[in-house]
Chain A
Amino acid sequence: MSGSENRARIGSSWHDSEPSLGLGSKPQDSASRTHLQNGLTRHSKASDGYILTENTYGQLRLAQRLSSSEDEEKIRSRDAIRQKSKEMQQKLQKQKSDYSSKKNTQSISLSQPQTSSATSLASASISNGGAKGKERRIKHIILNPEYRLLSGNETSGVEICQKLFGITVFEYSNGKSNHHPTHRDRKLVVQSVVEGSRAFCSGNISRGDMLIRINDVDVSWRNFSQLLKTLNKREKVRLTFQSPKIIGPKSSYTVLQVPEADLCLATLGKRLAHIQEELAHLNCVAMYLTLVQSSSESELDQMEDVVYAFPPGEETLTALRGLFITLSSALLDVVEQPAVRSHLHLNKSRIHVAYRQCGRDVLVFAMPGNRITPSCLEKVLNAFTSLLVLLFGDVQSAFQDCDRVWLDKIMALTFHRALELDTAHRKPDHIQWPSLTSMLTSDPWNIRLLALSSKDRLLCDEILNEFEAMDFDDFLDDVDLFARRKYVIRGTSLYYKGHLITSHLFEEHQRDVNLFLHSHELLSLSSRQEVNQVFVWHELKFNQDAVTSVPVGYRPCVTRNFLMVIGLHHYYLSVLVEAGSSPDQSQNLPARPLPLLVEQGRATLAQLETEEVHMSQCCEESLTSTNRDVVLTCPDQFCVHHSPRSRSGAKETTSNGKVMSPHNRPTLTSTKTSIDAQLLSRSRSKSADRLDDRDVSSHQDASIVIRRYGSKHSYGSNDSGGSGSSGPSKGRGSRISSATDLTSISHSLSVVNIDKGIAPGGRLTRGHDNYLFSYVHLDEGAGVLVAPTDLQLLEQHSYIQAQVLDNFALACHKIKNLLHCSVGNEAGKSVFLSQADEAETNALEAGTLFRCSFQSSQDKRQVSSLQYWVVGRTFSSPRPQLLFVCFHESTDQSMVETAFSLTFGT
């Protein structure tokens, strides 16, 4: 009640008492607000429909009351103004330091570090505060200047800089007297970053940064304009910034409240209108059409069948809506199957259309054929409808009830992602076939799992468990205790930079949460920048039908589920909260989150970054390290060289084994040699293992080694699963661990290969103990995905490998479609084995052998070739899972068989 209001009052009075300086008077106008920090712009809600938010969320305060939105807005705008003026008026800081430290307001010192006792006290008590601020961070940012924006008659360097880079430099005295000697010695300070500019997209430049070098030339006001004018137009410019030393806690942050906030601007750096404008050129539309007559007035309203259309200005395709709705509903009447997709040619360009029939209405997506494949479009539509169902219960009510502005935003994000608007350099009329990573993210239900050591994962599990227990009675007033009872935490999951760290959610819920985060582009946001400002509170409508076989006389109470996502640094904590377990409360629940939960969630995330835990370091290591359990090998090593003249001879060498001609060695990078050495040492240690079992026959020998490795691994990971002893993590911990068991594949592959490799000779000594090129493990039931990191793939980088990986991704797509189609469902049956018995048509495994041949760069007559398998296999129990492996052709299939069955204990 009084907390925020109080604050508001204090804030305003504080502000009022402030003398407004002529210097920075312009930004004080809250309506003209090109003011940003951490890549986020704050706007007033009235003007643009999204929230200007900046509050002083103090970790010191135990419970923050979120008051009504109006009040909050008032506070926020005041806060913003306050902070702005604060930064402008460093001169006043000394006098105010006492006050500001009490208020935890961010204060930036530019030239003279000030450490008043009160401030340092405050920063010490805040965990994420001052310690890091002590070092002056230098950051280099390379930008492509936008010369086309220059008109040629810019006079000041400030103007040029703004147009070239989108960086507005703070002009002392509004540029009038910048020849004044005292000003010329001043630093160049970033006042703001123009939204939508490249600098904005990079997300690295914040207000208050000092520009110290351009292309490694020291810059000041003296040479600023001169330097900018002499820039080479062709080249990228390297800007060096110095981050200011921040005194006091970095406690103020903006809240990106989903669903209210402007997601487009925050996640893509573009405004909604901007995206709509881009889309308008692209022959794409999303429409929700209805056949139901509007009962109210039967005027000649031409557009009454269009319930919703995006982008708003689209006309060509909108005019065809009669065709779409007729096609979809007529098909349903005639063949009792709704239309799935169709193509149409419009002005010689091909357009794919996908349909989703909902009762008497139809949702239509149309996108240009040169930007998306039909199957992808179908996926996009699928994901979108699933999201609507998740958030609103069903599609119809979603379009009737929900906020159009929100729909526009989500639609803009969906289209932006689907049509890859951000890749400006793409060639027209050429569909970019998905790379491995894009394939992995194309399915919005799945998320990559971060490979953490079991110890670290256990730590995360424990921290989450503590939060889930909600056992903070000791610190609470009675009032808060009572409020807490309204909510029960059903589970949590933790993300880092778009990767899943650990999940305590049920599988289907995890999938839903993944979908939510993906479709709001929050995951990609977190991998780009810190997401301290993100906060989500949204009701989820789970499918209630899942509860079956209710005993007679028992009425399950109606509960509501809310998803809460809190961002901190690069983490997201997603919490599934169940409300209304007591029947009388279920009806009129507050739409607002319980402040206590928010705060505790934030504290939970903060725990991950304490001295002892420093989880982000572990995560970064895991993201960047290439020294994994699963070691991939480079396809280059397996190329067989032969010149076309001696074909027959070449064939013999193929069958005999590898011919390692010196010609392929130069293609390997220098880092490769060190890896070779590493492989070598690995294989040596394993060969010692092998020798122990030498007396057994060779085949048995192989299996024994596999088993030992496999069991060791599964033991280790079971350990991590079981140790999440209390609460819900028990079963779920082991779920993740089954995925981590994948490591044993490579082990078994490589270990067995040593047994084989010794006989032909040479493989061991060269360290070629590994046939595995790549793998993807997709736990569809749980929405978890394990794959080598990009960095790991980069380590082995070569031209051939890139091709192999591309092809692997494509083949995975095909295999995945195939395996999906043939598993039961009606639609799939027509694709494969329509006439055969259903019971016998469940596809379990599919594989393809590829051959690539290419000319060696050194010798044109030499043709190299490489053969490799891509195999995908499904596992139906306990959850639907898919495993794709890419390995060299010479691998014994029986060995792969062993590896498959070993990994999952089937």
Chain B
Amino acid sequence: MVFDKVCYQLVDALLLQAASPLFSDITGAADVLMVSEASVLQTFIEAFAEAAESPYGCLLIGGRIVAATERWWGLTAGELTLLSTLLLSLSECSARDVPVYLPHGSPAIPHRLLTFELLRNVTACVICGPSPPLSDLEKEISRFWVPAVETLKSARKTVPRNVPASIEVDSNILGFILVNTLTHRCLNSVSLVREGGRGQGEEPARQEKRRAVLRSFYTMVIGSYFRPAAGEAGQDRGPGELRHEPTDTYIVCSGHKCYAHSSGKYQMFVLFAAKTPTFAMRSVTQKTLNLLVKDKNSPL
């Protein structure tokens, strides 16, 4: 019964993926959050996972991974994105025990995915075997997480910017997707600039549009110029037909400009305002990429 309901919600979420705030469905990489409190939260989640006798522990804010144990990151890209999608699709409840099959790790034997909502939109989860029952672990929550409440609250403020306020991104950038193709992590944002003043109500709609533009730009570039992050390059009409490796590509539309840059393991897709000069996009993109990658809190 419960099992059925999980599926329904997941199917709904999959069908509505275009509207999801995450990009994991097209990038094939887990959405992450860049917070300045990353190292502190990392120790918290590791301690909690240890208490649950599980190597797999993860802390999510708004469906994006803030901190996770090493083994969690060791899951394959497919598993990571599937777990994120599942966690986002589940209805809100303080604690939950869901059986999951990991398609790569244990396709035959189900594991238990335990989730705990610490604050609103903040979820800690572990994957474990049969041993610690949900009730036991639920009692431990307050012991482990009460000291972290303030940190979590400040970290939660990073959403929806997804990048700490300390990092100043060029004001022309309306949104970006940054994918690490090796570790399968993806940092993205469509609300970098706080547009105070005129209609706060318009902001969600504008973000929605930016997200749509970025999504279609991403799929366009990945299909034709860059190789997909997930590595399933089965297309014969893909980038393979090009003799030389494309490193940058851009498109100028009447309403906006998009720029994509690929260097090594990083792929960066940036949405610019229409007023940005075309020639400036390359350097701005590269600077922003360096800024995000070199930062000490960088989750990538």
Chain A interfacial positions (CB closer than 8 Å to B): 373-374, 433, 803-804, 806-807, 810-811, 814, 818, 822, 831-837, 839-853, 867, 892-894, 896-897
B138-176 interface bits toward A, Cβ cutoff 8 Å, 1 = contact, 0 = none: 000000000000000000000000000000000000000
Q: Are A852 and B224 in contact (CB under 8 A)?
A: no
The reply on B18 being an interface residue by CB < 8 A is yes
Residues in chain A near residue B251, CB distance under 8 A: 818, 832, 843, 845-847
Q: Give Cα A842 to B274, complex, Å.
A: 12
B164 CB to nearest A CB, Å: 29
Contact B245 A836, beta carbon cutoff 8 Å? no
B247 pairs with A867, CB closer than 8 A = yes
On whether the beta carbons of A849 and B249 are closer than 8 Å, the reply is: yes
Residues on the A chain within 8 Å of B253, using CB: 822, 833, 840-844
Taking a contact as CB atoms under 8 Å apart, the answer to whether B241 and A835 are in contact is no
Question: How near does chain B come to A744, taking the closest CB pair, in angstroms?
Answer: 20
Q: Which residues of B contact A848 (CB under 8 A)?
A: 225, 246, 248-250
Nearest-Cβ distance from residue B212 to partner chain A, whole angstroms: 4
Q: Is the CB of A850 within 8 A of B247?
A: yes
For the complex of A and B, the 7 pairs showing the least CB-CB separation, nearest first, are A840-B255, A893-B279, A849-B248, A852-B244, A835-B212, A845-B252, A848-B249
CB pair B245 A818 closer than 8 Å: no
Chain B, interface size: which category?
20 to 34
- Knowing A810-B241, A844-B254, A851-B244, say if A835 contacts B225 (CB, 8 Å): no
B242 within 8 A of A: yes
Partner of B220, one of A818, A852, A892: A818
Q: CA–CA, A818 to B220, complex, Å?
A: 9
* A841 adjacent to B247 (CB under 8 Å): no
- Check A807–B216 contact: CB distance below 8 A: no
18 further A-B pairs in the complex, CB-CB below 8 A; given A806-B243, A818-B251, A893-B280: A810-B243, A832-B216, A833-B217, A835-B212, A836-B212, A837-B255, A839-B254, A840-B255, A841-B255, A843-B251, A843-B252, A845-B251, A845-B278, A848-B225, A849-B246, A851-B244, A851-B246, A893-B278
A842 to B256, CA, bound (A): 10
| A interface: dominant SS | mixed
Give me the interface of B with A, judged by CB distance under 8 Å: 18, 209, 212-213, 215-217, 220, 224-225, 237, 241-256, 277-280, 282
Minimum CB distance partner of A809 in chain B: B243
- Chain B residue contacts of A894, Cβ below 8 A: 277, 279
Across the interface, name the chain A residue whose C-beta is closest to B213. Answer: A836
Partner of B254, one of A804, A834, A840, A852: A840
- Contact call B244/A846, Cβ cutoff below 8 A: no
26 A/B residue pairs, CB under 8 Å, sorted by A: A373-B237, A433-B241, A807-B242, A807-B243, A814-B225, A818-B224, A831-B220, A833-B213, A833-B253, A834-B216, A836-B213, A836-B216, A837-B209, A842-B253, A843-B251, A843-B252, A845-B251, A848-B249, A849-B282, A850-B244, A851-B244, A851-B246, A853-B245, A893-B282, A894-B277, A896-B279
Is the pair A841, B242 in contact by a Cβ cutoff of 8 Å? Answer: no
Q: Which of B209, B212, B245 has the most CB of A within 10 A?
A: B245
In the complex, what distance in Å separates the CA atom of A848 from the CA atom of B224?
11
A591, chain B: closest CB distance, angstroms: 46
Shortest Cβ distance from A807 into B: residue = B243
Do B242 and A811 touch (CB < 8 A)? yes
Q: Assuming A803-B243, A841-B254, is B249 touching A846 (CB within 8 A)?
A: yes
With contacts A836-B216, A897-B278 taken as known, whether A851 is within 8 angstroms of B255 at the C-beta atoms is: no
Cross-chain contact A810 with B216 (CB below 8 angstroms): no
Q: Which residues of A contact B242 (CB under 8 A)?
A: 807, 810-811, 850
Distance of A182 Cα from B110 Cα, bound (Å): 101
A844 touches B241 (CB 8 A): no
Give the docked Cα–Cα distance between A93 and B104 (Å): 92
Contacts of A843 in B (CB 8 A): 251-253
Inter-chain contact A849/B252, CB cutoff 8 Å: no
- Which one, B18, B241, B243, B255, contacts A836 given CB within 8 A? B255
CA distance A847 to B250 in the complex (A): 5
Bound together, the chains give a CA A831 to CA B282 distance in angstroms of 24
Bound: A829/B212 CA distance, A: 13
Q: How far is the CA of A836 from the CA of B253 in the complex (A)?
A: 11
**A807–B244 touching, CB < 8 Å:** yes
Q: How far is the CA of A847 from the CA of B112 in the complex (A)?
A: 49
A841 contact set on B, CB distance < 8 A: 253-255
- Give complex CA distance A810, B282 in Å: 22
With a cutoff of 8 Å between Cβ atoms, the chain B residues found around residue A844 in the complex are 252-254
Q: Please, which residue of chain B has its CB at the minimum distance from the CB of A822?
A: B253
Q: How far is it, in angstroms, between the C-alpha of A836 and the C-alpha of B211 when the chains are bound?
A: 9
Chain A residues, Cβ within 8 Å of B255 = 836-837, 839-841
A837 to B213, CA, bound (A): 9
Residues of B within 8 A of A849 (CB): 246-249, 282
Q: Separation in Å of the A316 CB from the closest CB of chain B?
A: 23
Contact yes or no, A833 B216, CB < 8 A: yes
**A837 cross-chain contacts in B, Cβ below 8 A:** 209, 255
**A contact residues around B279 at 8 Å (CB):** 892-894, 896-897
Indicate the member of A810, A818, A849 with the most B CB atoms within 10 Å: A849
- Chain A residue contacts of B245, Cβ below 8 A: 850-853
Kindly state the separation between the CA atoms of A803 and B253 in the bound complex, as whole angstroms: 29
Once the chains bind, are B216 and A835 in contact (CB under 8 Å)? yes
Q: Which residues of B contact A832 (CB under 8 A)?
A: 216-217, 220, 251
What B residues does A834 contact at CB under 8 A? 212, 216
Nearest CB in chain B: distance from A590 CB, A:
51
Minimum Cβ distance to chain A for residue B270 (Å): 14
A833 close to B212 (CB less than 8 A)? yes
Closest A residue to B283 using CB positions? A893
Q: Are A814 and B212 in touch, CB under 8 angstroms?
A: no
Closest to B263 in A: A851
Cα separation A843 to B252 with both chains bound (whole Å): 6
Determine how close the nearest CB of chain B comes to the CB of A699; give it in whole angstroms.
Answer: 14
**List of B residues within 8 angstroms of A845 by Cβ:** 250-252, 278
Question: Nearest-CB distance from B258 to chain A (Å)?
Answer: 9
Which residue of the partner chain A has the closest CB to B215?
A835
Residues from chain A with a CB closer than 8 A to the CB of B246 are 848-851
Complex Cα gap A433–B243 (Å): 10
